[in-house]
Amino acid sequence: MIGKGLHESHTETEEDKTLSEKAASESRPLNFIEQIIKKDLDEGVHSNVVTRFPPEPNGYLHIGHAKSICLNFGLAQTFGGQCNLRFDDTNPEKEEMEYVESIKRDVEWLGFEWAGDVRYASSYFDQFYEWALHLIREGKAYVCHLSPEETKEYRGWATKPGKDSPYRNRSVEENLAEFEKMRAGEYDEGACVLRAKIDMASPNMNMRDPMLYRIRKQAHHQTGDKWCIYPTYDFAHGQEDAIEGISHSICTLEFADHRPLYEWFIENLPVPSKPRQYEFARLELNYTVTSKRKLKQLVDENHVDGWDDPRMPTISGMRRRGYSPASLRNFCEMIGVTKSGSTIDVGQLEYCVRDDLNNNAPRAMCVINPLKVTIENVKPETKKTMVQPVHPNKEELGERELPFSREIYIDRADFSEDTTLSRKKFKRLVLGEYVRLRGSYVIKADAVITDENGEPTEIVATLVPKTVGENPPEGIKPRGVIHWVDANDCVDCEVRLYDRLFNDEAPDAGDKNFLDALNPESLQIISGCKAEKGLVNARAEQSYQFEREGYFCLDSKYSSDDKLVFNRTIGLKDNWKK
């Protein structure tokens, strides 16, 4: 009987605790954000913790977003609060519902639930418009007709103050009228913008009369054609937090210089609450590119097979490759939350994936480069069944059945005609010597049949009786243990050997063209592979350890009832060690 664990998806166990659960149960020090939240709660600054995960729906989420998801949802869980999922959808030019749906799937797959309904910045567009009018009436915003080039010139440099726009001192009435024309669609895109009136001499470039609204004559995926003007991210973000009662607005370090602007809006608008922004170091991973623009370029130029290509650092790509939610959560916890940026070795991520799959993935056998073996002292009509555990350390997962007959397949790399090979260097089958088949008999290679090029096409062997689970007679010493499948009762499949997409530690550093660092060996497709028959019931994204080969999962995109395709998640060992 095939064990229940072989073809069932991995379920959450004590080993799969989320970041928040582990933080609560372990004695590790609180990170700096947890310390801030604890202090706020202890001093009564907040009675409840409300966080949010606010992606822009302009691409698929990547491993850096996974860190933010684990942090924001984890903080809410740790302190008994709530986390909102909110889409900062203020730019219809680059946003699509495809991205919205993929982000929702990613958050759920990582094991988190958002509070209430999904939220959208676009749901607050009417309120943002009213607040823009409020700033105009207060003399703190104006419509500016400078061209983009002129605006850049007037803005100055980091070491040079900017200068006032010639439109900065328009009257309130004129600005209200001009803003209404913008809303009515009377101006073309780029003709004018609404700007805040702050300080053109500020040392912080973000405070030099930043843009609040711009013209985009494009339909929005949520609001349709209602608007042709859209708020900027900076204008919308803090006000969304205020509307939703966010207690701690967690951002990455690149938004630190935006915090004074965030606070200026909060102080100058009649918002219902006053959230605060805190910044942490974003995830930088070597051998990886996480720029959405560059990831989109990889997709658009067909360097990869879509956003969910298993080589991509997107959450959907990692899911399709066979990474588990627990492994990503464990990785995010391992690297911690700090204020200082650093580059994390991708080997740490791979360690977490390998560790989780080693502990939880069912075992199976798959011969990637099959070579036929005919066992002469087994009768043609003989059919036996070998039994192996689904997992060597988890008896509760049961056992799996392995058919065995006169003809089997072993991997071509597991056989050599070279009888001079030492046992230390080659612990596999050598002509004239013995090897043990995993969970089965000891066999001896007696002869080899070759083709016209001298390549082996078949091995003629004999088995040593009574060696299933037993030591062979004295004088017979197998070189090692190899995997195999029954040639007459197995499953044909395709195997895709994935590796790192880039072979440069810093593929987009400095002036590098990241495309030059693409690894030409990042994908190898092998057809005609032979797998044990139980894998015919494999389900998409279910992970397995193919014994002696690595960790694999059934591909969710190209597998069908007529064709099984398995993706290599990761090898058993790190082949990239320096």
Q: Which residues participate in catalysis according to the annotation?
A: 56, 282, 292
Closest residue by Cα to residue 347 from 289, 287, 291: 287
Length of the chain: 578
The three-state secondary structure class of 446 is strand
Q: Which residues contact 157 (CB under 8 A, 6 or more apart)?
A: none
Q: Which helix (H) or strand (E) holds 445?
A: strand 442-450
The order of strands in the sheet holding 141-144 is: 141-144, 193-196, 211-215, 229-231
Q: What is the dihedral of CA 254, 260, 263, 265, to 10 degrees?
A: -100
Q: Are 92 and 220 spatial neighbours (Cβ–Cβ below 8 Å)?
A: yes
What is the phi-psi region of residue 302: left when phi exceeds 0, alpha when psi lies from -120 to 50, beta otherwise? left
Q: Which residue has the tokens 């464990």?
A: 330
CB distance 273 to 245 below 8 Å: yes
Token output for 374 = 């005919």
Alpha helix ranges (H) inside 217-365: 233-244, 259-268, 292-300, 315-321, 325-335, 346-360
Cβ atoms 350, 574 nearer than 8 A: yes
DSSP assigned state of 356: H
Cα–Cα dist 86/257, whole Å: 22
DSSP state of 96: -
Cα separation of the two ends of the chain: 44
458: closest CA among 474, 468, 446, 441? Answer: 446
Cα–Cα dist 344/336, whole Å: 11
With residue 148 as reference, give the H or E element that holds it. Answer: helix 148-155
Pairing of strands 248-252, 276-280: parallel
